[in-house]
Amino acid sequence: MDFDPNNLDRVIDDALATKRVAGAVVMASRSGHIIYSSARGLADLEARRPMDLNSIFRMASLTKPIASVCVLALVDAGLIDLEEDIRRYLPAFSPMLGSGEVPTITIRHLLTHTSGLTYDFLQPPTGSYWAKQVSSGLDQPGLTLSEQLARANAVPLVAMPGTAFNYSISTDILGAAVMSVTHGTLDEAFLRFVLGPLGMYETGFVPTDNSRVTQAYFNHEGALSRMGPSQLVANDISFTSFSPDRWRDPKSFQSAGAGLLGTASDYLTFLVALLQGGSPILSPNKMNWLAENAIGDLEVDPANPGWGFSLGFSVLRDRVSVGTPQANGSWSWGGAYGHSWFVDPSQELAVVALTNTAMEGVAGQFPLEVRNAFY
């Protein structure tokens, strides 16, 4: 790998110039040393506030790997069993198949998104998750966890647990289980088992400094549009519903799947800890579980084969099918507000790219261009 930081500068500047993203913070570490760190563009277009290395982002699904690590730390502590039925921890949570059968959903099923649950944005607007207003954790300020669990319990599973990968609210169910076994709030558990030991004190369910939170934007008809208080953004199947100020309502449930806010620096610290073996937050064998494909031959996305999934994020199975320069065994994930990250263990490389623009920053060309610039 022969990385030229000027190439990455050009990638980011082109995305800004073509108004694909409003602003970005990109950081990278190789062999434990920072090799790239840049904040470019604007955190708030209207206020002309520059992006800063200390800008705070709504992490969306970048929350999920942190939640998964917290669960595995609780497995290390003997408080959670991967093969146990979720009803051991949440007795009232027992969603049914369409046939009326109540199948066993294990902690492993939830970690691997093979639970049979799904998301509203993966269903058409007439789908059951929209009808029952099951939140993705990105919207509906003021919605409590008990109400979210009740709504999720009232919709049919989309598959028998263990038979298919369906990206889902599974991580929010895990968050409820974490609260059950630790007898506290989710932010307390995250702080105790992950954020505190790693010194990630800029990460939490409320920002450490409101003035550093970036404004949220989305791509619309070739232009950047500022998100409103309740914003629907079209995707290939349906819509993703955003409420950028959800975190301001203290009644909003702490979403283990989408609720954290934090900085690129903090998130890079987290990835580097995993890359270097998981200490001090995970034992070596739990880190091995996290680094390996855990869904067998199931496809994360049948339309884009080549990716597996561990107990917390995507794992590259076939670099040729994917068409990526990354080595097999690389990890990656993203967040709907416009974020992506990847780790290539063969290169001891960890990269975080946070933007304030959905969906380009997560599902557009930007994350692919950032990736390619490192190779």
Stated length of the chain: 375
Catalytic residue among 31, 37, 55, 61: 61
265 is catalytic: no
Half-sphere exposure of 170 (CA within 13 A, CB side): 29
Active site residues: 61
